[in-house]
């Protein structure tokens, strides 16, 4: 079965949206527990999977939608944030709020990309007629 370009585009955008959603939840949890003694902030660990995908593409190999789905299943992990000295970090409220705003803008951009992709597919299906 040959997958079209829309399958990999939709799968990669869906994966990125899932990651942004989980990142938003982790940041919200960090903000909610900012004053809690002993709380260790967490980050979403997903960059290693994306680095692997980039490496495969750099080597000239292809990535299909099923590989992206496998990455998603293997992949989203919350990891504790450590300070420069190796000890658990404390929540920096201003940094967390800035990261949440940045993540929200990233999520909106991904949604806009998915919306435009679907609009292109809709135009193709309707033979360019509206």
Q: What does the pLDDT average to over 102-129?
A: 90
Asked whether 53 and 3 are in contact (CB, 8 A), the reply is no
The tokens describing 111, both together, are 């949604």
Question: Is residue 2's pLDDT more than 50?
Answer: no
Q: In this predicted model, what pLDDT tens digit does every residue of 3-56 receive, in sequence order?
A: 566 677 887 888 889 889 999 999 999 999 998 998 999 988 766 667 777 787
Say if CB 53 and CB 11 are below 8 A apart. Answer: no
pTM: 0.77
Among 30, 130, 12, 13, residue whose Cα is nearest residue 66 = 12
Domain count, the chain: 1
Whether 130 maps to a domain, the answer reads no
Residue 97 belongs to a domain: yes
**Residue 13 within a domain:** yes
Please give the Cα distance from 28 to 85 (Å, whole number): 25
Domain carrying residue 45: 5-125
Q: Which of 74, 11, 112 is nearest to 3 (CA)?
A: 11
In a domain, 115, yes or no: yes
């Amino acid at each position: 079965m040959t997958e079209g370009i829309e399958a990999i585009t939709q799968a990669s955008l869906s994966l990125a949206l899932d990651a942004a959603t989980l990142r938003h939840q982790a940041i919200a949890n960090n903000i909610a527990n900012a004053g809690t003694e002993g709380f260790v902030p967490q980050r979403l660990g997903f960059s290693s999977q994306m680095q692997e995908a980039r490496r495969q593409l750099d080597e000239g190999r292809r990535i299909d939608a099923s590989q992206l789905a496998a990455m998603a299943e293997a992949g989203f992990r919350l990891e504790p944030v450590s300070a420069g000295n190796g000890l658990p970090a404390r929540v920096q409220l201003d940094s967390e709020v800035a990261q949440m705003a940045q993540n929200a803008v990233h999520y909106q951009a991904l949604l806009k990309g998915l919306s435009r992709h679907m609009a292109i597919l809709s135009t193709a299906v309707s033979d360019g007629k509206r």
